[in-house]
Structure 1
Amino acid sequence: MAYELTGKIKLIQELKTFDSGFSKREMVVIVEDGKYPQEINLEFVQDKVSLLDKLQPGQEVTVTFDIRGREYNGRYFNNLQGWKITAAGEQPGIAPATAVPMATRGAIEDDDIPF
């Protein structure tokens, strides 16, 4: 199940690569929550680490993430694993270059209507 949060980037950590070949990168996003803003740590793994390359602290973003949980030695841990980031002002899924003006879509003439 996917979740979303919106806030300002506080910091972006350096890339960490482990001996196994696993790589991850973390960032902290400040989310306004009334009187007490929350500093939320999110991790990006493997091919998703590149999503952080063009971002800067102070930038407003919306992050889509999954909650991952696991048990280790009788203790339980949760991670927020990001997989999509939209910077403020971007409109995901809309590509202006693919928009087709109304005039070129092909007008339907009265004679073309099959009934």
Structure 2
Amino acid sequence: MSYEVTGKLVAKFDIVQRTETFKTREFVIEKTEDVNGRAITNYIKFQCVQDKTAMPDKYAMGEEVKVQFNIKGTKWVKDGRENYITNLDAWRMESVKLTQQSAPDNTSYSDFSSEQNVVDDLPF
């Protein structure tokens, strides 16, 4: 299952080579929401892996972006104690500005017709 969130890009971290064949990179977006008249700001850290580590480079700091991601959880046992990690694995990122520009406008059909040319021949 995938999720998406929109916010302002506020941090990009360096690529980390975890093993010889595995690399990761993290970035953070800021999301502010109005909750009962009060602005609540959250900072959401995402992880990119492998070929997706270059993804944040396309976007400027402060740019409004939409991030699509999966939630991944890992469990491991160390010294008899269970440990858990949850990652938000980003797999797609796009500029909100471009998304809004390519969206269809909200012009209604009535904007294209005039009362002089309308023929009401509907049976109901």
TM-score calculated relative to the size of structure 2: 0.69
Does the residue aligned with 1:58 lie in a helix, a strand or coil? Answer: coil
Count how many residue pairs are aligned between Structure 1 and Structure 2: 93
Instruction: Tell me which protein shows more helix as a share of its residues.
Output: 2
Identity within the alignment, %: 30
| Residue 21 of structure 1: how far off its partner (Å) | 2.2
Residue from 65, 71, 88 that aligns with 1:80: 88
Distance 1:72 1:20 in 2: 21
Specify which of 50, 64, 67 is matched with residue 63 of structure 1: 67
Of 3-12 and 29-38, more deviation after overlay is shown by 29-38
Deviations 1:84-108 (A, max 9, x none): 00112223xx7xxxxxxxxxxxxxx
TM-score, with length taken from structure 1 = 0.74
Look up the SS of the partner of 1:56 in the other structure. coil
1:16 matched to 2:16: yes
C-alpha separation in 1, matches of 2:49 and 2:57: 13
Which has the larger Rg? 2
Aligned to 1:89: 97
User: 1:42: which partner in 2?
Assistant: 46
